[in-house]
Amino acid sequence: MAAVFTCSIDDGNPLDVKMAELLCKHGLNGTFFVPIFNREGPPVLSKSQLLEMSARFEIGSHTHDHCYLKDMSLRDANEQIISGKCHLEDMVGHSIDGFCYPGGKFLQRHLSLVKAAGFMYARTTTNLCIDPGTCPFEVPTTIQFYPHSKSVYLRNFLQSGHWDKRAHGLYLALLTENWIERVYALFNYCCERDGVFHLWAHSIEIDQLDAWKQLDGFLAYVASRIARENRLSNRQLAERALYP
C-alpha cells in the first residue's frame, strides 16, 4: 500500500486552464467539475478549452447552471443533473462519469437521481478524510486549498459525520495556524497512513488569493512523494475504491 493523490477543481472557470498547466507540469492527475453556465455570474470554460483539457484530464459535471440541489424541487434538481451531463457529453464527445454537488448542498434523495442519470460517482465537500469514503455518491475530500477559519472546519466536521475517521484531521486543522502549512500537515499525515489525499479548489479563488506560487510549491512536494501510478483522477479513485 502507498499514499494516493487526487485533485478536483470546481466551477469550470477559464482559470482552470492555468490549473491544468500546473498539474501537467508536475505530472499529477485530477478532475475538473464544470457547469454549462454559472448562474452566479463568473464565466465558464469554452467548448474549445474543454476539448483541450479533456484530452488530458477527466471532466465531470457540476449541474447545468451551478445550482444548489438542496434549494430546488426534486423535478428541477433532476433536470439540472441530467441536462448538465448531456450538454457536457455533447461538448466533449464522450461519457461523463463524475458529478459534484455545487456548494456541497444536497439531500440523501439526490443520490438516487445522480445514480439514475448514469453517473458512476459523486463528490461532496466533506473534508478532513484520508480515504475514498464508503459510498460512491458521497465521495469525501481531504482539504480545500483555501484559508478557511477554524470555525469552518468545526462546522463541516459536525455536519458531515464519520467523526471517528475525521477526528485526527480536525485536530491537525485546528492545531495549524497557517493555512498553507495546514495543507502540508494533512498531506504528510495521509502519506504516513498510506491514505488518500483529495485536494480540491476553485481556480478563481487561487487567483484572487495570489496563491499560484504556493500551489506550485505544494504540487511539487506532492510529486516528490506520490508514485506516478497513485496520481489519480476522481474516476480512477472511485474505480480503485471498489465500493459495495
pLDDT for residue 94:
96
pLDDT for residue 42:
94
Is a pLDDT exceeding 80 seen at residue 1?
no
pLDDT for residue 70:
95
| Average pLDDT of the segment spanning 26-42 | 96
Query: Which cell goes with 80?
Result: 439540472
d(CA 109, CA 62): 17
Residue-wise pLDDT tens digits, 125-181: 999 999 999 999 999 999 999 999 999 999 999 999 999 999 999 999 999 999 999
pLDDT for residue 32:
98
Handedness of CA 211, 105, 121, 117 (dihedral sign): negative
pLDDT for residue 244:
77
Range of the domain at 126: 4-241
What does each C-alpha distance from 2 to 5, 164, 169 come to in angstroms?
A: 10, 22, 19
Q: Residue 207: how many CB atoms within 10 A of its CB? A: 14
Query: Which cell goes with 88?
Result: 457536457
| Domain CATH code at residue 91 | 3.20.20.370
Q: How many domains does the chain have?
A: 1
